[in-house]
Structure 1
Amino acid sequence: MSGTGFRRKVMTGITTVMLAVSGPVAAQADNLANVLADAYKNSGLLEQNRALLRAADEDVAVAVAALRPIVSWAADLSRSSSRYATSSTFFTPRDSASTTVSVGLSASLLLFDGGASKGQIEAAKETVLATRQALVGVEQNVLLQAVDAYTSLRTQSETVALRQNNVRVISEELRAAKDRFDVGEVTRTDVAQAEARLAEAQAALAQAQGDYQGAREYFIAAVGRNPGAMQASPPAPATATSIEGAKALAVKNHPDILQAQHQVAAADLAVVVTRASMGPQVSLTGSYGIEETFDSTAFSKGGSVGIEMSQPIYYGGRLSAANRQAIARRDSARAALRLSSISVAQNAATAFANLQVARAARVSSERQVRFATVAFRGVREEATLGARTTLDVLNAEQELLNANANLITSRANEYLASYSLLANLGLLTADHLNLNVTRYDPAAYYNQVKNAPALLSAQGQKLDRVLRGIGKE
């Protein structure tokens, strides 16, 4: 076989292996929709914040209870003894003892407090709505982290495959260099260059495998289960088409702004409540009791009903301080709303710009791969004619490797940027993505407790069973 024919055969084998690098990685089973659904179902952070929402729901029940009758009972058992001496006993000491038992019921009903209790109810409702939006924010973070974990795992998986192919390519190049050295076509330097490049490729493969294990652990933490084989990523979701459109959508939908709006409403009501607490309060009161003294014939029973009116006159300045504090917190909440609006709009604009940059980088990376492939083929053909050295081929191969690595990264960055923009618009939710999961209904528990059911009522017992079930999960 001629030298040229030998070189052509070797380089054709190398090219076949090398071009396989840029081909798709075969995978199936685990798609993004399943990943997001499992992250939603398995998130401990979501469970934590759902419990916080249920606690906020109960604040409404607590506030409602202030307008309900308060009924309580009390019982007392006492034993008294004494020693006395009087003229009737000729001043002879006598002992006396008695046992008394009393049982009583008391009740009170708030009739008027200047609207303080109703204000507390409305403030608690606004706090519930704010907490619901906080839960939406947590949901977005959980889903975005799942997208990041999924994308990272796919990226590292493709990088490992790329590095494995690179090791095979360099191994083939090294074998070819040794064969050509044996027939005197190249020097020992060419072989050493190929050996050095193989060592570098093996080190890069070991790093990629380590990064893959890290990405796998990240996936487990974010999704709550082990990953399966990765399917090809579905198309990125459609988002805003302009910066102004992105800002408008974000200001309208983002949970941070909606949460801040409800917090402002709650703070406004808190000012009303503190002012009303300085006014008069009217209550209806009643009591009924029985008292029995066992060591005598004493026995009594009776009750009373009355109207009680009270108003603070001087509390050491505490009420005025509470009112000023409520005003300051209201002003703080309003300022927080303004800052949140600015921040959300800025983040949406930045996320939109980042997506455009990532998209342009992906297009450039595709062109880089295309031209690096052409260049590699050209160098390979020139090498078969003896016009290029082994180092030239290795360098061309490295350029193509780098181009493919950049493409993997740029595709991942664009994909993650699209979901990041969706989150900054307030749309990265199970509802908007139509995930195949049982949605958590934030109003379900609220509707059960908003009327403050008592423990002994049928509704209260049902709630008790629900809470015990949640605790066993």
Structure 2
Amino acid sequence: MRSRTGGRFVKALALTAGIALSAVPGRAVWADNLTDAFIGAYNTSGLLEQNRALLRAADEDVAIALSALRPIINWAVEVSQDYTRSTVSDVVTRDEPSTFFTGLTLSQLVYDGGFSVLGKQSAQEIVLSTRQALLDVEQFVLFRAANAYLFVLEQEEAVQIRLNNVDVSSEELRASQDRFDVGEVTRTDVALSEAQLASSQADLAVERGFLAQAQAEYVNAVGNAPGRTAGLPGLPSLPGSEAEAVALAQRNHPAILSAQHEVRALDLQVQQQRANLGPNVRLFADAGIRESYDNDDNLEDASIALRFEQPIYAGGRLAASVRRSMATRDASRANLLNVQKDITQGVVDAFASFQAASASLRASTERVRASQVAFDGIREEATLGARTTLDVLNAQQDLLDAQLAEVRSRVERTRSAYELLQAQGLLTAERLGLAVQIYDPTLYYNLVKKAPAQVSRQSKDLDRVLKALRRD
């Protein structure tokens, strides 16, 4: 005959199980979601700001290269003293004139075999390469935000499940103690219940520690503490096959595009170093006032000269520079091949991980279903006295473990989906359609590409842009 204590325990256990089952799927729809995490990371990332600044530095290299094609005008002040000693008909004379000059000097490149033009084109390719590198950094920042959000979500679910385990174990201990008091079980059953409660409390403490770590990572990755999470997002649009994903990555991944632009830039540098072996022509001019300290002469002085130079021997430096640029170019070509292979492997790995996570989720869902059926059956058998309280608790523990595995499988499937997006080069703010002010890399470039003078209106526009960037 079944005791009243056992019946009360089974009812309490069923109530606790109902709480456990209802607590897992229900989430607040008004809470923070994955898009919020993406937006926070995009707007607050110091890594993005660092690489945007590096891109602006590359933009300035174009202006610097362009300046080599323009005249250089300086205001100059020169004080000189010449010493001349001559002997004519055994008569030695000495002349030490001193002069002062002030005026403008001009230097203008006329011809250098394309060296300066090639330098400008190479700098432009480096800008394009750096833009793609910035997009790759953006992918890293957004994927880290996704990981941080999913980690918080997973640990919140795990903590809730562990809390329910503690409640179940507490009910078990109370029921075991009641049954021990009326002589239905031994002291061993009570000790087993005490051990189970202690284990549940330890598991809860561990999960809470993981949750604290997840929240700290979220703050670092997103820029603010997480609110109440809104649950898992829907899966993004993914390719239907591995081959389709690989082909898309080879066309679009910023790491590949960056390496391609780098190769083109170094090809241009090889041509530039070869052009440096040829002649160059430069125009020099100056105009100003020249005075002599030896008398009161005051002259308005102007001169113009055209200088032609052809390297004949430079100690081997010029030829070594050509060979060095060729070796650097060859290294960049090899790097491009490596990047392409790495991207392909990354897509294959990510696609396989997504497929495996999807299969794992299906198995975990089936496990939850089967565990629920088993728990319901054992609970009914316990009401008839055919099962012990420990049997019911073990079945409940199996059900909760299955729920925990299902939560982790579902999170892992979402994580692997966004990992596949990143592997294809599609995890960017623009492609995700985030409600943010997308950083426009052409805005700053268009202001500096013509190398504006410091006193120009365009230079003042640049000052305003830089002030706004520093304020942000």
| TM norm. shorter chain > 0.5 | yes
- Matched with 2:66 is 64
Contact 1:54–1:446 under 8 Å retained in 2: yes
Residue of structure 2 in register with 1:471 after alignment: 470
| Residue number in structure 1 paired with 2:313 | 314
Query: Contact 1:64–1:121 (CA<8 Å) still a contact in 2?
Result: yes
**Residue of structure 1 equivalent to 2:77:** 75
Q: Is this contact kept in 2: 1:4–1:386, CA < 8 A? A: no
CA distance in 2, matches of 1:295, 1:115: 47
For structure 1, the residue ranges without an aligned partner over 5 or more in a row are: 81-96
- Displacement of 1:466 in angstroms is 2.1
Offset of residue 20 of structure 1: 2.4
Deviation at 1:449, TM superposition (A): 0.3
**CA drift at 1:250:** 0.8
What aligned pairs does 1:354-373 form with structure 2 within 5 A after superposition? Answer: 354-373=353-372
Can you list the C-alpha shifts for 1:268-326, whole angstroms capped at 9, x where unaligned?
A: 10110000000010122211121234673222221112221112111111110110111
CA distance in 2, matches of 1:190, 1:77: 106
Which aligned segments of 4 or more residues in structure 1 are displaced greater than 4 angstroms? 77-80, 97-100
- Aligned counterparts of 1:317 and 1:405: Cα–Cα separation in 2: 70
Shift of 1:470: 2.1
Cα displacement (A) at 1:5: 5.7
Partner of 2:262: 263
The whole-number CA distance in structure 2 between the counterparts of 1:323 and 1:145 is 42
Q: Give CA deviations for 1:324-356 in whole Å, capped at 9, x if unaligned.
A: 111111111111111111111111011000000
Q: Residue 301 of structure 1: SS of its match in structure 2? A: strand
Q: Retained in 2: the 8 A contact 1:4–1:385?
A: no
CA RMSD of aligned residues (A): 2.0
Percent pairwise identity: 48
Q: Specify the alignment match of 1:85 in structure 2.
A: none
1:339 and 2:338 matched: yes
Cα distance, 1:188 vs structure 2: 2.1
Q: Which residue of 1 aligns with 2:161?
A: 162
**Superposition deviation, residue 100 in structure 1:** 5.4
Match of 2:51 in 1: 49
Output one character per residue of 1:62-81: Cα deviation in whole Å (capped at 9) or x when no partner: 1111111111121145899x
Q: Which moved more, 1:228-237 or 1:390-399?
A: 390-399
C-alpha contact (below 8 Å) 1:284/1:305 kept by paired residues = yes
Contact 1:143 1:429 in 2 (8 A): yes
Could you state the TM-score of these two structures normalised by the residue count of structure 2? 0.93
| TM score, norm. by length of structure 1 | 0.93
Q: Which shows bigger deviation, 369-378 or 441-450?
A: 369-378
- State the distance in 2 between where 1:295 and 1:314 align: 42
CA distance in structure 1 between the partners assigned to 2:352 and 2:313 by the alignment = 59
CA distance in 2, matches of 1:255, 1:345: 13
Partners of 1:124 and 1:79 lie apart in 2 by: 43
Aligned residue type for 1:265: R
Q: Deviations over 1:9-61 (max 9, x none)?
A: 42122022123223324334201111101100000000000000000000100
> Does the CA-based 8 Å contact 2:176-2:190 persist in structure 1?
yes
> Higher mean Cα deviation, 311-320 or 289-298?
289-298
Moved more, 439-448 or 463-472: 463-472
Alignment-mate amino acid for residue 27 of structure 2? A
Does 1:278 pair with 2:280?
no
SS in 2 for 1:10: helix
Alignment of 1:235-246 (within 5 A): 235-246=234-245
Q: Give the letter aligned to residue 351 of structure 2.
A: F
Unaligned runs of 5+ in 2: 83-95
Q: Aligned letter for 1:230? A: T
Q: 1:100 to 1:279 in 2, by over 3 A?
A: closer
In structure 2, give the amino acid aligned to 1:377: D
Structure 1 pair 79/306, CA: closer, same or farther in 2 (3 Å)? closer
Q: Give 2:257's aligned amino acid.
A: L
Aligned counterparts of 1:246 and 1:233: Cα–Cα separation in 2: 24
Q: 3-state SS of the aligned residue for 1:3?
A: coil
Residue 29 of structure 1 aligns to a residue whose secondary structure is coil
Output the CA distance in 1 between the equivalents of 2:223 and 2:18. 37
CA distance in 1 between partners of 2:335 and 2:279 (Å): 34
In the other structure, the counterpart of 2:121 is 122
User: Which deviations, in whole Å up to 9, do the C-alpha atoms of 1:204-261 show, x marking residues without a partner?
Assistant: 1111111110000000000011111100222010111111111111111111110011
1:141 matches 2:126: no
1:439 aligns with 2:438: yes
CA deviations over 1:119-153 (Å, ceiling 9, x no partner): 11111110000000000000000000000000000
Quick one: structure 1 residues 269 and 98, their matched pair in 2 at CA, closer, same or farther if it must change by over 3 Å?
closer
Q: Shift in Å at residue 98 of structure 1?
A: 10
Answer yes or no: is 1:113 the counterpart of 2:115: no
**Structure 1 CA distance, aligned partners of 2:395 and 2:14?**
11
C-alpha displacement of 1:187 = 2.2
CA distance in 2 between counterparts of 1:18 and 1:42 reads 42
Separation (CA, whole Å) in 2 of partners of 1:75 and 1:115: 33
User: 1:269 and 1:421 mapped to 2: Cα distance?
Assistant: 35
Question: Where does residue 26 of structure 1 map in the other structure?
Answer: 27
Please identify, of 331-340 and 184-193, the stretch whose mean Cα deviation from structure 2 is larger.
184-193
C-alpha distance in structure 1 between counterparts of 2:124 and 2:457, whole Å:
24
